[in-house]
Structure 1
Amino acid sequence: MLQNGIGKEKPSELKKAEPELDFPSEPPTQPAPTDSAVRTAQDTDSTHFPLAVFPKLEIKHNAVTDDYKISSQVLGLGINGKVLECTNKKTGEKCALKILYDSPKARQEVELHWRVSGGPYIVGILSLYENMHHGKKCLLIIMECMQGGELFSRIQARGDQAFTEREGSEIMRDIGTAIEFLHNMNIAHRDIKPENLLYTHQKSNGTLKLTDFGFAKETTLHNLLQTPCYTPYYVAPEVLGPEKYDKSCDMWSLGVIMYILLCGFPPFYSNTGQAISPGMKRRIRMGQYGFPNPEWAEVSEEAKQLIHQLLKTDPNDRMTITQFMNHPWINVSVCVCVCVCIYSSCIYSAFILYNRVCVLSLQQSMVVPSTPLHTTRVLTEDREMWDDMKVRMTPSGHPGTSQDQRNHRMH
């Protein structure tokens, strides 16, 4: 468990000599989490990874500015707080600082992230501070700095270059390895998406790692999940409904990422400019998607069948992470190298899909803009099935609302 500092020295105020830290808006009060205490290696049945027994994460009470120079550069926006660049004053090492208002939910995020931060392809936590700011207690998480950017930013940079299924399988295997580590510890991430997959550095051999555990939760057969936390484009059908769900929701998200990786657009989306629409929800619940040409013409049947197994609407029929990691497409031999030209400059710049994070919890919602995901095309929708076309479009000024623009993009 995280140490709360009771009986210790009073938390320090942030030094006035340093630039003011721009803290996030105070989050709504959440009920205390019911997660159990930190597990040891003996508490799991994992056979794939030697699970380290991490020491308790001690909270430092001196001002974070004693040890780190805080930059105003925002590296990203997480579910529960923003991430800033910082530099270790002693070593000069660049790190990332995530700022959270102290709450049971924030401590749950930190504890679960700390528990898995030694795992493969997972962003590591270096240290944790507790400081006061304007009379409010805040948690300041120092993490390794991922300077290579997001997964899809790297794909975008490929431009017209051919992208192979082998390269795609390597990326999916790295993501799968991180998910396998979580699932072996009975932790569901619940927000697997390209924005939460970052590279260590810009070089081609940069390591891809999973981050942002703001939605993460422990789950077992006796402790299923029910709170509908999700990002629309990657949400599993069962998360949208009243039924309880488990870590298999991550497998659906894995299927969506694989789909986007191989063609450049998502299998489910809203045509109304909304983050998620009734029609989009219906298509997700019914598993209505396809593999349209020309983007999918050269993609192997093996890859398509793997996506089918991941996008099963019934979680009991959905592929598990163990099955995924053992699939031939994920373990493709060196000699197999199917070349798929996914992106062309003229199509690639045609449409920007604004991906918004919808956090739905206790009848409260929050919309957080995230990095735009460039896609290769806008799919034409079946008019008999897509009632959301009748929903009013967003106000003028939102990309993609002009009929002329839509007609141009489809040709």
Structure 2
Amino acid sequence: MYHFNVILLNIPGTAITSPWKQAGNTHLKRRCIVTLHLGAFSEVVLAEEKRTQKLVAIKCIPKKALEGKETSIENEIAVLHKIKHANIVSLEDIFESKTHLYLVMQLVSGGELFDRIIEKGFYTEKDASKLIQQILDAVKYLHDMGIVHRDLKPENLLYYSMEEDSKIMISDFGLSKIEGAGSVMSTACGTPGYVAPEVLAQKPYSKAVDCWSIGVIAYILLCGYPPFYDENDAKLFEQILKAEYEFDSPYWDDISDSAKDFIVHLMEKDPSVRYTCDQALQHPWIAGDTALDKNIHESVSAQIKKNFAKSKWKQAFNATAVVRHMRRLQLGTSSEGPTSLPSPCRNECSGEKISTPHSAPPTFASKFH
């Protein structure tokens, strides 16, 4: 368990202050090992808690990079503190140094959704149905908590472990929003291919936008390509605004009518009649036995390879590869190999003193990559 001060930025020239008092200094008892991800204004490193040898992911955010982004990171922290679910990557702690803000996250090491599907030799509608059920359970939980993710997409779906029956985890709450009393939002955000028509139309929207995105994900899981695509953004947006998509032959010939019906109810243009998570969880394709057992791996994996390049953020060493390497070395008996990547963030977060609270905040759950 980490027990450190939860802070809110304290960037010179801003009015942001920490709601938690700071008292004393102590060295963080962990060892930063390797960079897992380099983002636009943050770095994620693999770290080991020295006493327990527990591996975690630490998102390191330079305070200089946060100028002008205070609201975004505050929002992400607020969301992460609020949620705890088995299919959502958890936030274990937050602390600061003079130059960085650190989010200590649960380590998710099972790899990306598409990678796992491609690696399988056997993949069916039932497999897709089980994946979507887990996503629906997690998003229903978020919606019940008054939280809208707003950026659900395959890249934000990661496997918890390398086990064959590993659960799926939702990550990346950078665009999430806690609903207010009116339960509608208006900020245009999300990833174009997965965003709901009402968002593109710049109309007020609600948690129904997440259900649309789940429909898009389900579509891709069953055929390997997106329902909307065009090199021209204007034409792509026009397709989405009109909800123009097809179940093309031959890719959908072996897919059940029940699966198609499920998708149609989620990818409904009118958000007022679009399926909610509760309704989707009760659909026969999820709750019943209508999902087929036929192997669709060859077709789906071929289309995934063709239509989805490796995620741009993916580095030479991802969490899966690093954890495998660490296990081979019996968790940290060597600092050579892929664990020796240089990182100013790792150097700083391993050696700096950090502030601790009078009493440790409770542990909450959520995600990040």
Letter in 2 for 1:105: S
Structure 1 residue 336, shift from structure 2 partner: 5.9
Distance 2:24 2:42 in 1: 21
Offset from partner CA, 1:350-400 (integer Å, 9 cap, x none): 6243588xxxxxxxxxxxx3459xxxxxxxxxxxxxxxxxxxxxxxxxxxx
- Residue 113 (structure 1) aligned with residue 80 (structure 2): yes
Higher relative contact order (Cα pairs below 8 Å, separated by 6+ residues): 2
Letter in 2 for 1:123: V
Q: TM-score, normalised by structure 2?
A: 0.73
Aligned to 1:194: 154
Distance 1:345 1:240 in 2: 28
Partner of residue 327 from structure 1, selected from 283, 289, 301: 283
Say if 1:300 and 1:223 are closer, same or farther in 2 by CA, change over 3 A: closer
Aligned to 2:49: 88
Q: TM-score, normalised by structure 1?
A: 0.66
Conserved 8 A contact 2:126-2:293? yes
Offset from partner CA, 1:129-185 (integer Å, 9 cap, x none): 11222xxxx321111100101111111212xx3421111111100000100000001
Aligned to 2:199: 239
Aligned to 1:227: 187
Partner of residue 205 from structure 1, selected from 165, 174, 177: 165
Aligned to 2:259: 303
Distance 2:154 2:24 in 1: 35
- Residue 338 (structure 1) aligned with residue 293 (structure 2): yes
Letter in 2 for 1:112: V
Conserved 8 A contact 1:264-1:342? no
Higher helix share: 2
1:56-135 matches, within 5 Å, as 66-75=28-37, 77=39, 81-100=42-61, 101=63, 103-116=70-83, 118-133=84-99
Distance 1:258 1:239 in 2: 20
Say if 1:81 and 1:244 are closer, same or farther in 2 by CA, change over 3 A: farther
Conserved 8 A contact 1:195-1:370? no
Aligned to 1:53: none
Conserved 8 A contact 1:236-1:252? yes
Conserved 8 A contact 1:169-1:332? no
Q: Secondary structure at the match of 2:44?
A: strand
Letter in 1 for 2:143: H
Higher strand share: 1
Conserved 8 A contact 2:6-2:95? no
Say if 1:284 and 1:297 are closer, same or farther in 2 by CA, change over 3 A: same
Matched-pair identity in %: 30
Aligned to 1:254: 214
Say if 1:61 and 1:326 are closer, same or farther in 2 by CA, change over 3 A: farther
Conserved 8 A contact 1:248-1:315? yes
Structure 1 residue 254, shift from structure 2 partner: 0.1
Say if 1:370 and 1:31 are closer, same or farther in 2 by CA, change over 3 A: farther
Structure 1 residue 3, shift from structure 2 partner: 7.5
Where structure 1 has 5 or more consecutive residues not aligned to the other structure, the ranges are 12-25, 33-55, 357-368, 373-411
Letter in 2 for 1:157: E
Q: Secondary structure at the match of 1:319?
A: coil
Structure 1 residue 312, shift from structure 2 partner: 0.9
Aligned to 1:144: 106
Aligned to 2:245: 289
Distance 2:272 2:281 in 1: 18
Distance 2:285 2:30 in 1: 44
Distance 1:267 1:85 in 2: 36
Conserved 8 A contact 1:299-1:340? no
Letter in 2 for 1:88: E
Conserved 8 A contact 1:189-1:215? yes
Aligned to 2:119: 157
Letter in 2 for 1:72: V
Structure 1 residue 309, shift from structure 2 partner: 0.7
Q: Secondary structure at the match of 2:285?
A: coil
Partner of residue 313 from structure 1, selected from 269, 276, 287: 269
Aligned to 1:185: 145
Tell me how many residue pairs correspond in the alignment. 304
